[in-house]
Structure 1
Amino acid sequence: MVATLLRLRFRVLANTLKRSTWQLVAVIIGAIYGLGVLAFVVFGLVALAFAPVELASTIIVLAGSALVLGWIAVPLVAVGVDQTLEPAKLAQYPIPRRTLLIGLALAGVLGVPGIITSIAALATTATWFRSPLAAVAAVVCAVIAVLTCVVGSRMVTALSVSLASKRRFREISGILVFIPLILLGPISFGIARGVAKSTDALPGLARILGWTPLGAAWSVPADVAVGDFGVAAVKFLIALATLAALALIWSRSLATALETPPVSSGKRVARGKIGFFGLLPATPAGAVAARSLSYWVRDPRYARQLIVVPLIPVLLYFYSNNMGSFVLFNATGPIVAFLLSLATYADLSYDGTAFSTHVADGVRGVDDRLGRAVALAIVSVPFVVVLTVGSVAITNSWPLLPALAGMALGAVFSGIGLTAVTSARIIIPVPASGDNPFKSAPGAGFTTALSSFATWGILLLLTIPEAALGVSSIVFGSALLGWLALLVGICLGLALAVIGIRVGGAIVDRSAPEILSRLKALRGA
């Protein structure tokens, strides 16, 4: 049965890669990159063999503890990402719990993260090759450490089954994991600076972690290398006890998850509470706008794009401060305008088969385009205005405000007109409603990137007039050019918005059945 589970795991992986040539290419490129990083890690571990024991122990224990912590923490924020052998799907089969535990553990070890972790952990043997006993201990402890990572990860996944069944938890956790990725630059810089300032404290931290479940297995070889066998034995027992405790908790939580699967509860809404539909005009365009605004508030696939808004000023301020010039920070408004205005460039793809209601009810294309444009304007324009004025106020660069506002508003309105056309043309695979908003649909990577870059390029061309006036105003210090940039940005942007709504509406009227058939095909893929 264990062998069957493993074959199933690799068969599902192989079938997934066969779905799209570009997905297979992306996996190959990612594997090459991962192997490069792994080679660097292995080389570093070999080099540590010639370093002092304390230095080698400090680096291995700190890195190993971070690795274990990462394995345990990832399931808390990566809810919604596909699992090849999801226990809930195996619950209907009469598989003994012990067999299921062994199969899931081996599947975790033989997955890509598990294989990379195993190779890196076993490579620590090279660090202690000058001490045969320490090298043997490193092999044994590497196996324990890898199992601790996998079992700990599976334990957390099983414990969080009840939370993972709640859609709101999946949505929030999937979005929150994106925040540290965006701030990776400042975070890495801060960690590097902190490490540089507290180098003397790192050995002490490593010694403390060596007595904890996170670092016990990684510190045993160092103690064996210096002849401290009593301490090594105690730490080895801590590592074994940790693995046993995690396995026991995982077994019991898995039994609970399989025997009492979570059920989703419905949400009651008070009578008469119709949200945005009660605030906007009772017209076809007003109804479309109300529904689109509901998506922005309730659908994480839309909300994920708003996360970037408060983070962009942080990033630009950080880089501007390091450069000694706040030119980048002052451009916050235009940059956010550019990104937000294109947020719905493939809007109908997120509608899915719900677009059939528009076709069945005979909603005019211009009303569909106008409603979505109004919703996007309600969401994006306040952000753009606040960030443009705020960045200028922080840097006390008020003379630049007209030029920056012209570029920002021009980008917003022009982008709204552009997306009114592109969202009627571009139908791409997107995460389904309720899925992790960052889940990549099969075959979506290359198509999405290509269509995104093309749309960005077109918007750059459309905003050349106000951008040229605005940049010239800033470079030459001309107030007149700044006010001209504001005038051109608003007028030209609004004109392009109107044109885009009309052109996009005509496309929808002409191609609505074809659009619906393409959406159905994507859903069935």
Structure 2
Amino acid sequence: MALALTYSTSHTLVRMRLAAFRHALKDQFRLSWIVTGGFVGLVLAGGTIWVAARGDNDVLVVVLAVWMLGWVVGPLFAGGGDETLKPEYFTMMPLPPRTLSTGLLVAALAGVAPVISLIALLSLVIAGGNVVAALVAVPALLLQLFCFILASRLAVAVYGVLLQVRAGAVIAAIVNAFILAFTAQGWALIVAFVSTDVQGTLAKGARIAPSGWGLVAVEAAGRGDWLEVLAALAGLVVLGVLMLLAWSALLVRRTTASRAGGKVRRSLSGTDPRSGAAAKELRSWTRDLLYGHKAVFAISYGLFFCMMPLALGWKAMLPWAGPAAVVMAAAMSANLYGADGTALWTTLMTPGANGPDVRARQRAFLLVFGPITLAITLLLTWWSGYASAWPLVLSVLPALLGGAAGLVVASSVYAAVPTTDAHKRSGNPLNSGENEGETMGIVYVMLVLVASTCAPALIVALNVGWWGVPIGVLSGVLAWWYFGRLAIRRLDKKGPELLTLLRHGRSPAEQAKKTAGLDALPKWKRTAAGFCLGFAAIPLFPQAVVPAIFKLTGNDDTRSWFLALYQTGPWQWVVIVLMAALGLSMYAFGGLTYYRAKKRAPGGSVAAVAG
């Protein structure tokens, strides 16, 4: 009876998951994300199979460990992973926790990521070397895939529990920041490890990790060591069962735990609209765990990103930890009004509150991130010992702070994304609604926009030194004032429409209007535009901007993965210019493609479509 119920539940959930996936394919924006992610995943899966074909199992086991790590940490940066079927949807149904968790696990297989991971795990068949090992690889790769998915679901569940308490939210933010910084700067740690000849140690550690048990079973089958084969496969089975039981227990906690209201510790002390709005915003940053999580994440990311090269004894990036934290903080706060949801109603219903509210949000952002990033910048610049970095970072930091404080409020009213209201958040605080792809798109755009606000100050500082500081302060103040003014005007003019969007989301008619111009484009052009917008930052920033800064500041010792710095003489500048032109061309092609498509949409203007 229990087995029949489990089968019936799994079958129904799989059908629901596939139906939701077919619906997602009708949204051109989500489709572009799916296609781009699928393409990148297939490339990585092909690389994994190529490693296996070379016969280097020491490298293969490390690559498989990276795949499992991606399953564990990937959802933490993608809004809690794909939760099309939320456990809360089935709270009122008489389903045992293990039946529900098993059904959700099976339904999770009906997606793009599991298929790509299955392709990558076919490397175990190739790594076997003979027919017997290849036969053992079949159950090994299936068990390995189930462990990948279970590890992902369990990590999200544990992370959700951590975000329910302040200390857990801080710890989770620090861990996330380290992982994300490692994806960009991990090369320094890897080079440091390789230079100390620990490749063999890494391979041994990867074989001990659960991600390597499938390969261990295949290698043992090739040697005829059947006891080790059984031990490795049994280990995967036991691990999967334990993770399933743990996940089931966390699902019960998530769907049954009561959420009592918090006790008011102290009333707001504001005496006028400005001070009242400022007090409210500061309370949001200090009491809302997701706000605090984002703040700790941004600061930690800036520190990790610029301190990882210390593994190689390179201190040149230390002065830039503060500016990097500001850029990341702005990107994480790009949907500030969207995160408020229907709470915007209280502001709109108060006469004359739009201006004080926008300025209060800007001041709160500066109070939260200004002092700490300034302290980090001063301390780490002094530690680095680079005297030439002082005018650069002290010019860039005020420009970035002002630009970030202005763009945060402007982007959140001009490009707000509907999310789940704070009082309706599910047991997975990472999941903020059905528009995670759109939210991530705004985050990427904000990274570029905020970084560009420091360009005038940086150019002046590079050419005339300390004169860049007043330019940075002036540009920061102007950006703070101007973008804040735009946000106030937008709220005064389109406040009710914004509230309707945040409350009900976009109607089918608005969705059709939004994508009408894109639908008329050939698929190859839509895909190419999405690819260009997603990857244009690679040639523009790490391959052009960063090497140019190194050249201008006289740092000729670091090459890393910067292609231009491996050239000689004037060819370095030639490569820098070509990479910058490539990145800008990709941005121009992608941006113009989407802009012209929206202009052709019904309504005749970008403003009509965005509104």
Give the shorter-chain TM-score range.
Answer: 0.7 to 0.9
**1:222 is aligned to 2:219:** yes
How far apart are residue 136 of structure 1 and its match?
Answer: 2.2
How far apart are residue 103 of structure 1 and its match?
Answer: 4.0
Alignment of 1:253-264 (within 5 A): 254=248, 261-264=255-258
Q: Which residue of 2 aligns with 1:114?
A: 114
How far apart are residue 354 of structure 1 and its match?
Answer: 0.9
Alignment of 1:138-149 (within 5 A): 138-149=137-148
Task: Tell me how far apart the structure 2 counterparts of residues 34 and 363 of structure 1 sit (CA, whole Å).
Answer: 50
Q: Which residue of 2 aligns with 1:308?
A: 298
Task: Tell me how far apart the structure 2 counterparts of residues 165 and 357 of structure 1 sit (CA, whole Å).
Answer: 27
Distance change >3 Å, CA 194–CA 325, structure 1 → 2:
closer
Alignment of 1:204-243 (within 5 A): 209=208, 215-228=212-225, 232-237=226-231, 239-240=233-234, 242-243=236-237
Check whether the contact 1:403–1:473 (CA below 8 A) recurs between aligned residues. Answer: no
Match 2:473 to one of 490, 496, 512: 490
How far apart are residue 30 of structure 1 and its match?
Answer: 0.9
Which of 73-82 and 492-501 deviates more?
A: 73-82
Q: Which residue of 1 aligns with 2:546?
A: none
Check whether the contact 2:132–2:222 (CA below 8 A) recurs between aligned residues. Answer: yes
Q: Deviations over 1:286-322 (max 9, x none)?
A: 1111111122223355442552234324423545986
Distance change >3 Å, CA 390–CA 358, structure 1 → 2:
same
Q: Which residue of 1 aligns with 2:283?
A: 294
Distance change >3 Å, CA 431–CA 182, structure 1 → 2:
farther
Q: Deviations over 1:147-176 (max 9, x none)?
A: 44445666x479859938947698567644
Distance change >3 Å, CA 169–CA 392, structure 1 → 2:
closer
Task: Tell me how far apart the structure 2 counterparts of residues 68 and 405 of structure 1 sit (CA, whole Å).
Answer: 41
Distance change >3 Å, CA 413–CA 81, structure 1 → 2:
same
Name the count of aligned residue pairs.
494
For 2:28, the aligned partner's letter is T
Alignment of 1:390-469 (within 5 A): 390-397=379-386, 401=390, 404-417=393-406, 419=408, 421-430=410-419, 432-433=421-422, 434=425, 439=431, 442=434, 445=437, 449=441, 453=445, 457=449, 460=452, 466-469=457-460
How far apart are residue 68 of structure 1 and its match?
Answer: 5.9
For 1:311, the aligned partner's letter is Y
Check whether the contact 1:338–1:408 (CA below 8 A) recurs between aligned residues. Answer: no
Q: Which residue of 1 aligns with 2:126?
A: 126
Q: Which residue of 2 aligns with 1:512?
A: 495
Distance change >3 Å, CA 521–CA 403, structure 1 → 2:
same
Alignment of 1:323-334 (within 5 A): 326=316, 328-334=317-323
How far apart are residue 27 of structure 1 and its match?
Answer: 0.3
Distance change >3 Å, CA 99–CA 187, structure 1 → 2:
same
Task: Tell me how far apart the structure 2 counterparts of residues 338 and 74 of structure 1 sit (CA, whole Å).
Answer: 21
For 1:226, the aligned partner's letter is R
For 1:293, the aligned partner's letter is L
Q: Which residue of 1 aligns with 2:53?
A: 46
Match 2:360 to one of 343, 368, 371: 371
Distance change >3 Å, CA 42–CA 269, structure 1 → 2:
same
Q: Which residue of 2 aligns with 1:51?
A: none
Q: Which residue of 1 aligns with 2:135?
A: 136
Match 1:17 to one of 12, 25, 35: 25
Check whether the contact 1:338–1:415 (CA below 8 A) recurs between aligned residues. Answer: yes
For 1:392, the aligned partner's letter is T
How far apart are residue 187 of structure 1 and its match?
Answer: 3.1
Which of 290-299 and 74-83 deviates more?
A: 74-83
Task: Tell me how far apart the structure 2 counterparts of residues 86 and 498 of structure 1 sit (CA, whole Å).
Answer: 42
Q: Which residue of 2 aligns with 1:183?
A: 182
- Cα RMSD (Å): 4.4
Aligned-residue identity in percent: 20
Check whether the contact 1:333–1:405 (CA below 8 A) recurs between aligned residues. Answer: no
Check whether the contact 1:166–1:264 (CA below 8 A) recurs between aligned residues. Answer: no
Task: Tell me how far apart the structure 2 counterparts of residues 59 and 412 of structure 1 sit (CA, whole Å).
Answer: 43
Q: Which residue of 2 aligns with 1:477?
A: none
Task: Tell me how far apart the structure 1 counterparts of residues 210 and 328 of structure 2 sit (CA, whole Å).
Answer: 44
Distance change >3 Å, CA 357–CA 180, structure 1 → 2:
same
Check whether the contact 2:144–2:236 (CA below 8 A) recurs between aligned residues. Answer: no
Distance change >3 Å, CA 236–CA 355, structure 1 → 2:
same
Check whether the contact 1:22–1:443 (CA below 8 A) recurs between aligned residues. Answer: no
Task: Tell me how far apart the structure 1 counterparts of residues 181 and 299 of structure 2 sit (CA, whole Å).
Answer: 11
Match 1:381 to one of 353, 370, 395: 370
Distance change >3 Å, CA 329–CA 472, structure 1 → 2:
farther
Task: Tell me how far apart the structure 1 counterparts of residues 243 and 382 of structure 2 sit (CA, whole Å).
Answer: 54
Task: Tell me how far apart the structure 1 counterparts of residues 77 and 333 of structure 2 sit (CA, whole Å).
Answer: 26
Task: Tell me how far apart the structure 2 counterparts of residues 105 and 235 of structure 1 sit (CA, whole Å).
Answer: 26
Check whether the contact 1:38–1:116 (CA below 8 A) recurs between aligned residues. Answer: yes
For 1:294, the aligned partner's letter is R
Check whether the contact 2:347–2:354 (CA below 8 A) recurs between aligned residues. Answer: no
For 1:194, the aligned partner's letter is F
**1:3 is aligned to 2:1:** no
Check whether the contact 2:328–2:447 (CA below 8 A) recurs between aligned residues. Answer: no
Check whether the contact 1:159–1:254 (CA below 8 A) recurs between aligned residues. Answer: no
TM-score (norm 2): 0.66
How far apart are residue 28 of structure 1 and its match?
Answer: 0.8
TM-score (norm 1): 0.76
How far apart are residue 142 of structure 1 and its match?
Answer: 3.0
Task: Tell me how far apart the structure 1 counterparts of residues 329 and 48 of structure 2 sit (CA, whole Å).
Answer: 39
How far apart are residue 266 of structure 1 and its match?
Answer: 1.8
Q: Which residue of 2 aligns with 1:163?
A: 161
Task: Tell me how far apart the structure 2 counterparts of residues 447 and 370 of structure 1 sit (CA, whole Å).
Answer: 23
How far apart are residue 23 of structure 1 and its match?
Answer: 0.9
Check whether the contact 1:421–1:503 (CA below 8 A) recurs between aligned residues. Answer: yes
**1:266 is aligned to 2:260:** yes
Check whether the contact 1:340–1:412 (CA below 8 A) recurs between aligned residues. Answer: no
Alignment of 1:339-354 (within 5 A): 340=329, 344=333, 346-354=335-343
Check whether the contact 1:145–1:218 (CA below 8 A) recurs between aligned residues. Answer: no
Check whether the contact 1:76–1:173 (CA below 8 A) recurs between aligned residues. Answer: no
Task: Tell me how far apart the structure 2 counterparts of residues 72 and 497 of structure 1 sit (CA, whole Å).
Answer: 38
Q: Which residue of 1 aligns with 2:44?
A: 37
Task: Tell me how far apart the structure 1 counterparts of residues 116 and 378 of structure 2 sit (CA, whole Å).
Answer: 48
Task: Tell me how far apart the structure 1 counterparts of residues 50 and 161 of structure 2 sit (CA, whole Å).
Answer: 41
For 2:120, the aligned partner's letter is A
Distance change >3 Å, CA 376–CA 4, structure 1 → 2:
closer
Q: Which residue of 1 aligns with 2:511?
A: none
Q: Which residue of 1 aligns with 2:461?
A: 470
Task: Tell me how far apart the structure 2 counterparts of residues 215 and 70 of structure 1 sit (CA, whole Å).
Answer: 14
Question: Could you say what secondary structure the match of 1:83 adopts?
Answer: coil
Q: Deviations over 1:336-358 (max 9, x none)?
A: 55555676555322222211111
The structure having more radius of gyration, on CA atoms, is 1
Distance change >3 Å, CA 75–CA 239, structure 1 → 2:
farther
How far apart are residue 448 of structure 1 and its match?
Answer: 6.3
Check whether the contact 2:38–2:116 (CA below 8 A) recurs between aligned residues. Answer: no
Check whether the contact 2:410–2:483 (CA below 8 A) recurs between aligned residues. Answer: yes
